[in-house]
A and B are shown apart, each in its own frame.
Chain A
Amino acid sequence: MISRRGWVIGSVGLVVLFVVLLSFTYMASYPEPGDSARYLAIPLEDSGAANRVAGIYLNTRLFDTLIEILVFSVAVLGVRYYLSHSPQVSLPSLSESAVVRTAAGILGPLALLLSAYFATFGHISPGGGFAAGVIAASAVLYVAIAQGMQATERRLPPQRVATAEKAVLLFLLAWVFLPLAFGRAPLSELLPRGTPGQLLSAGSILPYNILIAVKVFLGAWLVIAAFAQHRGEL
């Protein structure tokens, strides 16, 4: 049995080890970050996205992003599966005060609008599908806190949302493998790249951003609804 002192010494040693290792990494990339020039040297027309970050994770490293979306879906599935075994609590129909409800009525749609903007303009300005999805889920959570979980769940029933989430995932995968039908490799670009900086540019990055936003929104809402329904009691 390790004593508490042993744990303290061990964890401090672990911290020191990590800090030394990371310091070496930092020194190696100082003052010029290692791969910066290489990724910025790729011509802008290659992905067509003015936002370089979107150009990397939805073009150069699209496969990585797809696996990440799969990880997210598996986590949502796991949360729903394991929580379905725990007892349901009856959701209180009580809602917040009139001030909170009115504020949520005004700010909720504004947050949803911001989410739509982030999803559609993610390839030419800061933003992107993941951020947009999280903003939309937060907006719905805000409205749910103000108007009561029951009312919000009636509008966005988790069963149907779960089906829609899987449908979006399948659509995303179908889109990725669609080039096979034209005799090209999967993940290759089908849409025209356009002029970088314009709304209709960057080929598939715009639809990917919108699909990812919808996917993340539905997934995050499912997790929130599952935690609200099965919050458990001590």
Chain B
Amino acid sequence: MPIIVSFVLLGIGILALVLRRDLVIKLLALGLINGSSILFLVGIGNRPSARAPIHVPGEVATFVDPLPQALVLSAIVVNFAILALALVFVMILVERYHTTDAVRIEVETSRESEEEETPCL
């Protein structure tokens, strides 16, 4: 079940990342893709009727795979770092072009570079 949910989240994330024009929504989609990959990794470490990998003295139990859980920790922290930095860049773009629309920003930047290339007569 977590695997299917992670596939659905991945699909929504990639579609939103490619098709939506708003930069903030693109960042949210990136977060969604990250969440789906975390869910997938933790999901494949799961086993039927297994417990969290914490030993209690004198108790024998089946544990889930601890490796993906340790690895997704890096993914979570790096995702936080990327989102914070990317938001700053979006803020800088918004301050300059007054829009979060990726296509409009692209048009503006290409016009600016054309103006720079045209020699003044």
Contact = CB atoms under 8 A, between A and B. Distances in A.
A79 B85 contact: yes
A8 interface: yes
Interface string B22-65: 00000000000000000010011111100011111100000111
B88 A52 contact: no
Contact of B45 (A15, A36, A130): A36
Interface residues of A, number: 61
Contacts of A64: 74
A197 B73 CA distance: 22
A75 interface: yes
A125 interface: yes
A75 B7 contact: no
Given A11-B15, A50-B54, A75-B84, A19 B7 contact: yes
Contact of B66 (A22, A52, A65, A130): A52
Interface in A29-47: 29-36, 39-40, 44
Contacts of A22: 3, 6-7, 10, 40
B18 A11 contact: yes
Contacts of B105: none
B77 A232 contact: no
B88 A83 contact: yes
Contacts of B47: 31-33, 36
A163 interface: no
B5 interface: no
B24 to A, nearest CB: 13
Contacts of B6: 22
A203 to B, nearest CB: 16
Contacts of A130: 73, 76-77
Contact of B94 (A34, A230, A232): A232
A145 B66 CA distance: 37
A221 B20 CA distance: 31
Contacts of B65: 33-36, 39-40
Given A31-B47, A33-B68, A52-B63, 5 more contacts: A15-B10, A44-B55, A52-B66, A86-B91, A234-B94
26 contacts: A15-B11, A19-B10, A22-B7, A25-B44, A26-B3, A29-B44, A31-B48, A34-B65, A35-B67, A50-B54, A50-B56, A53-B69, A56-B67, A57-B70, A64-B74, A71-B77, A72-B77, A72-B80, A72-B81, A75-B82, A82-B85, A130-B77, A196-B57, A197-B55, A227-B87, A232-B95
The 8 lowest CB-CB distance pairs between A and B, nearest first, are: A75-B81, A36-B65, A52-B53, A11-B18, A56-B70, A52-B66, A33-B65, A57-B70
Interface of A: 4, 7-8, 10-12, 14-15, 18-19, 22, 25-26, 29-36, 39-40, 44, 50-53, 55-57, 61, 64-65, 68-69, 71-72, 74-76, 78-79, 82-83, 85-86, 124-126, 128, 130, 196-197, 216, 223, 227, 230-232, 234
